[in-house]
Amino acid sequence: MKTLSKITFSVLAIVLFVSCNQQKKEVENQAETKQKAFEEKISATNDALFAAWNTGDAAIMEANLTPDFIRKQNGEESSKNREEYIGLMKTFRTAIPDMKFTYELMDVKGNKTFSKWTAKGTNTGMFGDQPATGKPSVTHGFTILTYNDEGKAISEEAYMDQLSYLQAWGYTLTPPTIE
């Protein structure tokens, strides 16, 4: 009788162990599936934001950014909300109506996208209060976008060489006067 009890106990312990492992794997698979779906969603948002920059479509921006969206350019805050960011896009689209962004690399990690991009276009419109130069430019940059749980962008960190496009348009630096 003791042997039968030991065998029964052993079989129950094995069944319980296998069952718990299967449940653990199912939970892990569900989490992986959920994360993959989220990463696909923010990848699509990233694509939509690049499309908005390429077309100047403020409605796309508005649909994919949170109202309190913050942008930092080269480490300095340049837009404090969605409206300022859309205004920035309009400023550049006015100055460079044919501006096109392409990205050579885009990766998703957690709730962030990382994009290495190139922007090309010709300065045929006013850039702020500066008249058009008619000259083309190419700028390379890197952007990190962070997203909320709904897949909307909440912040951007953009790094680029601003001097390169200004020099391509004919602007120069004036050395400081040293007394």
pTM equals 0.81
Q: Examine residue 177 and state whether it is found in any structural domain, yes or no.
A: no
For 76-116, the pLDDT digits (tens) are 999 999 999 999 999 999 999 999 999 999 999 999 999 99
CA 115 to CA 140: how far, in whole Å?
Answer: 11
Tell me, yes or no, whether 77 lies in a domain: yes
What residues does 88 pair with on adjacent strands? none
Residue 162, both tokens: 């601003």
Question: Distance (Å, rounded) from C-alpha 69 to C-alpha 92?
Answer: 18
Q: Is 179 part of any domain?
A: no
Domain range for 121 is 2-168
Domain at 109, CATH number: 3.10.450.50
Is 175 inside a domain boundary?
no
Q: Is 11 domain-assigned? A: yes
Give a yes or no: residue 38 inside a domain: yes
pLDDT tens-digit map of 120-179 = 999 999 999 999 999 999 999 999 999 999 999 999 999 999 999 999 999 998 888 898
Tell me, yes or no, whether 99 lies in a domain. Answer: yes
C-alpha 97/C-alpha 111 separation (Å) is 32
Total domains, the chain = 1
CA distance 88 to 76: 14
The phi, psi pair for 37, rounded to 5°, reads -65, -40
